[in-house]
């Protein structure tokens, strides 16, 4: 990928992500206490993910239905928002419900961790930096999956091992960044079209 192609991608996709960045800033500025969960705090936490729904829908319904990867990522974002809502009430016993929304067919935490690890491995395998076959969307998927694993690992360590300093900041910053990068990877079909034309 050349610098010019990367710059054109930023110019075309960047403006569509402005609502996501604003919603993420609102979450961190308000920093609502987790000790008093409410529907408002659930809305504020889920708002950046809703904005990523809008980001994918901005490419058109036909784009989502025609590309299975984009459709899967959109479905993943729906489950993520549900998981985020459940996790607002984790102290009231909804932690496992929230966890399972991020892997709807998993019933054991070990299986969930294996799925996240597999996702990260496949995303990293798809980059192929040494063969010059990488695209910016594959790189987004790779970095996003690694950040997702960092977020989940921080949750696990903080919940089951020992308190992690600034855990909430680490978890949410890596989580939102991961979701944005994974959503960006959904537009890979457009990127692949450009790559094929270049060959």
Distance CA 159, CA 130 (A): 38
Helix axes 188-198, 68-88, angle to 10 degrees: 150
Q: How far apart are CA 170 and CA 154, in angstroms?
A: 8
- DSSP letter at 164? P
55 within 8 A of 12, measured Cβ to Cβ: no
Measured between alpha carbons, how far is 146 from 181 in angstroms, rounded to an integer? 10
Q: Print pLDDT tens along the chain (199 aa).
A: 545 555 667 678 889 999 999 999 999 999 998 888 899 999 999 999 999 999 999 988 888 888 888 888 999 899 889 888 878 877 666 666 666 665 644 455 566 667 677 776 666 666 655 565 567 777 888 888 889 888 988 887 888 788 999 999 999 999 999 999 999 988 865 545 444 444 4
Helices (H), 61-186: 61-66, 68-88, 95-101, 109-125, 136-160, 167-185
pTM of the model: 0.80
CA–centroid distance for 34 within its chain: 21
Distances in Å between the Cα of 199 and the Cα atoms of 16, 192, 194, 195, 196 are 28, 11, 9, 7, 5
Angle at 90 (CA atoms; ends 105, 47), nearest 5 degrees: 80
In angstroms, rounded to a whole number, what is the distance separating the alpha carbons of residues 199 and 177?
Answer: 31
């Amino acid at each position: 990928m050349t610098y010019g192609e990367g710059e054109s991608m930023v110019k075309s996709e960047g403006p569509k992500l402005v609502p996501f960045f604003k919603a993420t800033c609102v979450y961190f500025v308000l920093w609502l206490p987790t000790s008093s969960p409410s529907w408002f705090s659930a809305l504020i936490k889920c708002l950046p993910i809703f904005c990523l729904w809008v980001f994918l829908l901005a490419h058109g319904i036909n784009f989502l239905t025609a590309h299975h990867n984009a459709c899967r990522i959109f479905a993943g974002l729906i489950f993520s928002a549900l998981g985020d809502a459940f996790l607002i009430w984790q102290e009231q016993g909804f932690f496992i419900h929230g966890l399972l929304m991020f892997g709807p067919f998993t019933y054991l935490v070990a299986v969930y961790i294996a799925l996240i690890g597999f996702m990260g491995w496949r995303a990293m395998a798809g980059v192929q930096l040494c063969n010059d076959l990488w695209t910016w969307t594959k790189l987004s998927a790779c970095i996003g999956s690694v950040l997702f694993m960092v977020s989940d690992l921080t949750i696990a360590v903080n919940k089951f091992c020992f308190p992690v300093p600034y855990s909430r900041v680490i978890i949410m910053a890596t989580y939102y960044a991961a979701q944005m990068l994974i959503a960006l990877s959904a537009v890979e079909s457009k990127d692949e079209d450009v790559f094929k034309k270049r060959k």
